Amino acid sequence: MTQVEPSIIERSVEKTNIWLKELSGEPGVGDRQDAYRALRAVLHALRDRMTVDVAAKVAAQLPTLVRGIYYEDWDPSRTPAPIRSVEGFLERVRAEGGMAGETEASMAVEAVMRVLRRHLTPGALEDILTVMPADVEALLAG
């Protein structure tokens, strides 16, 4: 019997599971549920601080399922959000991710950015960094 190629949904679930497994293996992240919360919170904080054009370019590189998480509850008319400092960015991640504090949020941001560096093109990463305030850019650049 010949093997049938998986559907787009199955491939997206597989890619999403890879991302979550990688993320849960990062220091300070925890289990798959923590990985999901971190990924969602950081993607939303990034998305809301980007211009609509950059947000769409980044979305195009995400697995379909992750792209759905990324776009969840997005209101492009409110972007870019007025997050102007590392503290504001980390507070956004902390609040959305239900994290204990700034340290946990910072570890989540660093972990998600390491995963994004493995999966996004250098151009997409550069686009993200160029629309961030300087101190947030430094946090994201690692």
How do the domains of the chain map onto residue ranges?
A: 39-141
What's the confidence (pLDDT) of residue 95? 97
Average pLDDT, the chain: 93
pTM of the model: 0.92
- Whether the per-residue pLDDT at 1 is higher than 70: the answer is no
- Whether the per-residue pLDDT at 132 is higher than 80: the answer is yes
**Are the beta carbons of 131 and 50 closer than 8 angstroms?**
yes
**Are the beta carbons of 45 and 83 closer than 8 angstroms?**
yes
What's the confidence (pLDDT) of residue 8? 83
CATH of 39-141, one of 1.10.490.110, 1.10.10.10, 3.40.50.2300, 3.40.50.300: 1.10.490.110
End-to-end CA distance of the chain: 48
Query: What would the mean pLDDT of 27-44 be, rounded to a whole number?
Result: 95
The residue among 81 and 3 whose pLDDT is bigger is 81
- With CA atoms as reference, report the closest residue to 15 among 120, 86, 87, 105: 120
Write out pLDDT tens, residues 55-111: 999 999 999 999 999 999 999 999 898 888 999 999 999 999 999 999 999 999 999
